[in-house]
Amino acid sequence: MTILVDANLTPRGVEFLQSTGIEAVHWWSVGAGDAPDAELLEWAVERDAIILTGDGDFSQMLALRGLIRPSVIYLRTSERSPQGPGERVIAAYKAMTGRADGGMIVTIDDRGSRLRALPILNGE
Cis peptide upstream of residue 11 (ω within 30 degrees of 0): no
71-84 as b/e: b if 16+ CB within 10 A: bbbbbebeeebbeb
Q: What is the SS3 assignment for 23?
A: coil
Let me know if residue 123 belongs to a domain. no
Mean pLDDT, residues 76-92: 83
* Residue 27 located in a structural domain: yes
DSSP character for 121?
A: P
**pLDDT, tens only, 13-40:** 899 999 999 999 999 999 998 999 999 9
Q: What is the residue-wise DSSP string for 32-72?
A: -TT--HHHHHHHHHHHTPEEEES-THHHHHHHHHT-----E
* Residue 122: per-residue pLDDT: 61
pLDDT at 123 over 60: no
Domain that includes residue 96, residue range: 3-117
The answer, as to whether pTM is greater than 0.85, is yes
> Would residue 25 count as lying in a domain?
yes
What is the number of structural domains in the chain? 1
- Domain annotation covers residue 40: yes
124 in a structural domain: no
User: Residue 107 pLDDT > 90, yes or no?
Assistant: yes
Domain assignment present for 122? no
pLDDT at res. 100: 67
The answer to whether residue 70 is domain-embedded is yes
Q: How far apart are the first and last CA of the chain?
A: 28
Confidence band, pLDDT 50/70/90 cuts, at residue 85: confident
Mean pLDDT value across residues 79-107? 84
